[in-house]
Amino acid sequence: MSVQEGKTEMDIKDLWKRVLAELQITINPSSYNMFFGSTYPEKIENNEITLICLNGFVKENIEKKFFSLVQESVNRIGKGSFKISFIIKDRTKEQMEPAKVGPLFENISSQQTKKSAASAVSKESYTKSNLTPKFTFETYIMGKNNQLAFAIASAVAQDPGKVYNPFFLYAGVGLGKTHLLHAIGNKILDEKPNLKVIYTTGESFTNELIESIKSGRGGGKYTSYDFRDKFRKADVLLIDDIQFIAGKETTQEEFFHTFNALYMNQKQIILTSDRPPKDFKNIEERITSRFESGIIADIQTPDEEMRSAILRKKRDDNRDNVSNDVLDFIAEKIDTNVRELEGAYLQVLTYVKAFGGEVSVETAAKALGQKIRSETNKTINLNQILKTVCNYYSVKTSDIKGPRRNKELVIPRHITMYLIQELTKTPLVSIGEFLGGRDHTTIMHGVEKVEKGILNQEKTREDVINIRKELSA
CB under 8 A, 24+ apart: contacts of 364-369:
364/326, 364/329, 364/330, 365/329, 368/330, 368/333, 368/334, 368/344
- Cα–Cα distance, 40 to 13 (Å, whole number): 8
- Cα–Cα distance, 397 to 197 (Å, whole number): 39
DSSP letter (8 states) at residue 283: S
- Cα–Cα distance, 364 to 461 (Å, whole number): 17
Please give the angle made by the CA atoms of 371, 376 and 382, to the nearest 5 degrees. 155
Q: Does 102 belong to an annotated binding site?
A: no
Three-class SS of 190-238: HHCCCCCEEEEEHHHHHHHHHHHHHHHHCCCCCCHHHHHHHHHCCCEEE
Contact 328, 365 (CB under 8 A): no
Question: How many CB atoms neighbour CB 79 within 10 A?
Answer: 10
Which of helix, strand or coil describes residue 167?
A: strand
Q: Does 178 belong to an annotated binding site?
A: yes
Q: What does the chain come to in residues?
A: 473
Distances (CA, A) of 274 to 47, 162, 427, 437: 53, 26, 10, 19
Residues contributing to the annotated binding site for ATP: 174, 176-178
Residues contributing to the annotated binding site: 174, 176-178
